[in-house]
């Protein structure tokens, strides 16, 4: 029933947007606006969306909605039962539809370019793979170097903490970040996410994992990064196609910036650690700031992407993107996935999942038809570091402000340079406007090597 409802709703929405009436209105508007004006960018973004949508038949949209509804239900059952064979037939249908989707568009340098553009407009498969090749070599080298150092003690992170107290502390943190409670709220969910109904209504959720109590705190900071972006979009773009983020990669840069570059920094905890200790004297009374900082930045390869640390996270993303590309161009088949997953996990992280539930079945994305999505996670990490360096160069008091619990200058800079524009600029264009360079892995690699060299005494 859910699949049928989704199918009908998506088909109707698609038909409304791709109507001749909308096409004529866009053509007329294009003749009346200056291309470089706000109105010109609004027309250009809407025209881009319209041109892509009109290539896709409404019947396909309806079928895709039904298939992914069934696939997500099957994935939930398959993961619970650790049975990839249960999910495989549904994934076959999803991939067949994705291959069909590619045919609706002009030939690209790689078929994956078509699905990537849905999430990261203007980015190509060649650019992503080139970025990955630079990151992979140095991140693998870093992980191996860290593995030779004494293990970091993070036992305090696995003690028993009271959920309400951790929730209240996280709320205090994001309030200082600048989350506007008059235009948003926070609730609990089984998986953290941010959802926006416009700049005046942004919802975030978090989850409580008893044996990972700090997941609530860092997850809240992460989702607040998304929320601050949405709350910062100019009200001039409210209820227009310009509302929202430039891309998922740019959006992820905001969540990663606040969660990691701010929230896992020594300056941040120089301010907040005494307050956290006061809330949890039994768990943290004997823990020094240095030990705490090292503990929350411990590097340990893991099987699960959403639990991965900064130094290993991108390798999880690369594995998935490489498999997506192979599935789309036919060099890999669905039946090959469990073995390919284990081999890549062993090669990149030195681990091998004992079950498919811990391996190829751990993510919902493929069952939801989200091919082209995963690369945006790594792009977000990379862009966040570029923004951080650019802000730091323009604001020498960056770390001093953070150590004083003053996040207003950072948020104001992001609002002025990034947030307010919404979708007005394509991601590469926006990054270049702010940092004077295109998406570049250099600052991110320097950040990782500098930070973890200090944490582990390399």
DSSP track, 111-131:
THHHHHHTTSTT--HHHHHHH
Residue 422 has what pLDDT?
97
What is residue 151's DSSP assignment?
Answer: P
Beta strands in 81-190 (DSSP E): 184-188
CA distance 399 to 403: 6
Residue 4 has what pLDDT?
79
CA distance 330 to 323: 10
Residue 289 near residue 338, CB atoms below 8 Å: no
pLDDT digits (tens, 9 = 90+) for 422-436: 999 999 999 999 999
* Across 135-151, average pLDDT: 93
**Core vs surface per residue 340-354: b (16+ CB within 10 A) or e:** bbbebbeebbeeebe
pLDDT band, residue 321 (cuts 50/70/90) = very high
pLDDT digits (tens, 9 = 90+) for 354-401: 999 999 999 999 999 999 999 999 999 999 999 999 999 999 999 999
Residue 424 near residue 45, CB atoms below 8 Å: yes
pLDDT band, residue 2 (cuts 50/70/90) = low
Catalytic residue, candidates 120, 127, 223, 243: 223
Structure tokens at 138: 């140095």
| Among candidate residues 455, 391, 405, the one with its CA nearest the CA of residue 267 | 405
Structure tokens at 406: 């003053």
| Among candidate residues 385, 441, 146, the one with its CA nearest the CA of residue 265 | 385
pTM above 0.85, yes or no: yes
Give the CATH fold of the 137-307+375-456 domain: 1.10.1370
pLDDT digits (tens, 9 = 90+) for 240-276: 999 999 999 999 999 999 999 999 999 999 999 999 9
Residue 14 has pLDDT above 90, yes or no: no
pLDDT digits (tens, 9 = 90+) for 115-126: 999 999 999 999
* Across 319-331, average pLDDT: 96
The reply to whether 307 belongs to the active site is: no
pLDDT band, residue 1 (cuts 50/70/90) = low
Name residue, tokens 């970025």: 131
Phi and psi (nearest 5°) for 91?
Answer: -65, -35
| Among candidate residues 428, 444, 445, the one with its CA nearest the CA of residue 388 | 444
CA distance 352 to 363: 16
Residue 310 near residue 264, CB atoms below 8 Å: yes
Name residue, tokens 């919802």: 203
What is residue 258's DSSP assignment?
Answer: I
pLDDT band, residue 210 (cuts 50/70/90) = confident
What are the domain boundaries of the chain? Answer: 1-106, 137-307+375-456
């Amino acid at each position: 029933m859910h699949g049928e409802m989704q199918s009908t709703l998506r088909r109707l929405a698609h038909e409304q947007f791709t109507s001749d009436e909308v096409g004529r209105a866009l053509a007329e508007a294009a003749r009346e606006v200056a291309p470089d004006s706000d109105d010109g960018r609004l027309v250009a973004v809407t025209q881009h969306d319209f041109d892509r949508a009109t290539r896709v038949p409404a019947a396909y949209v309806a079928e895709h909605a039904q298939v992914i509804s069934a696939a997500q239900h099957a994935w939930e059952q398959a993961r619970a039962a650790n049975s990839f064979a249960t999910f495989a037939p549904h994934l076959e249908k999803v991939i067949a539809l994705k291959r069909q989707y590619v045919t609706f568009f002009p030939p690209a340098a790689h078929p994956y370019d078509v699905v990537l553009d849905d999430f990261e407009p203007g980015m190509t498969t060649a650019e992503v793979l080139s970025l990955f090749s630079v990151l992979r070599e140095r991140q693998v080298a870093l992980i191996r170097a860290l593995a030779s150092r004494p293990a970091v003690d993070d036992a305090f992170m696995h003690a028993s903490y009271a959920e309400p107290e951790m929730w209240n502390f996280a709320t205090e943190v994001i309030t200082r970040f600048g989350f506007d409670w008059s235009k948003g709220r926070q609730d609990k969910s089984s998986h953290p996410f941010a959802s926006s109904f416009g700049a005046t209504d942004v919802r975030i959720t978090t989850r409580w994992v008893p044996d990972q109590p700090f997941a609530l705190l860092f997850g809240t900071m992460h989702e607040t990064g998304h929320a601050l972006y949405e709350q910062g979009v100019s009200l001039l773009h409210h209820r227009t196609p310009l509302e929202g983020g430039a891309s998922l990669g740019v959006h992820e840069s905001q969540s990663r910036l606040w969660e990691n570059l701010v929230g896992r920094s020594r300056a941040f905890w120089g301010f907040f650690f005494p307050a956290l200790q006061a809330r949890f004297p039994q768990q943290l009374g004997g823990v020094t700031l240095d030990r705490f900082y090292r503990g929350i930045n411990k590097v340990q390869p893991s099987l699960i992407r959403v639990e991965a640390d900064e130094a290993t996270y991108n390798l999880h993303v690369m594995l998935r993107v490489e498999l997506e590309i192979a599935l789309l161009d036919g060099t890999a088949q669905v039946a090959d996935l469990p073995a390919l997953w284990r081999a890549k996990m062993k090669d990149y992280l030195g681990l091998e999942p004992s079950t498919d539930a811990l391996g190829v079945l751990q993510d919902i994305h493929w069952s939801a038809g989200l091919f082209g999505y995963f690369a945006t996670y790594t792009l977000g990490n990379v862009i966040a570091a570029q923004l951080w360096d650019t802000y730091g160069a323009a604001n020498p008091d960056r770390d001093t402000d953070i150590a004083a619990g003053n996040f207003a200058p950072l948020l104001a800079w992001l609002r002025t340079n990034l947030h307010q524009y919404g979708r007005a600029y394509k991601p590469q264009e926006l990054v270049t406007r702010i940092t004077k360079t295109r998406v570049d892995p250099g600052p991110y690699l320097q950040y990782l090597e500098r930070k973890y060299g200090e944490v582990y005494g390399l």
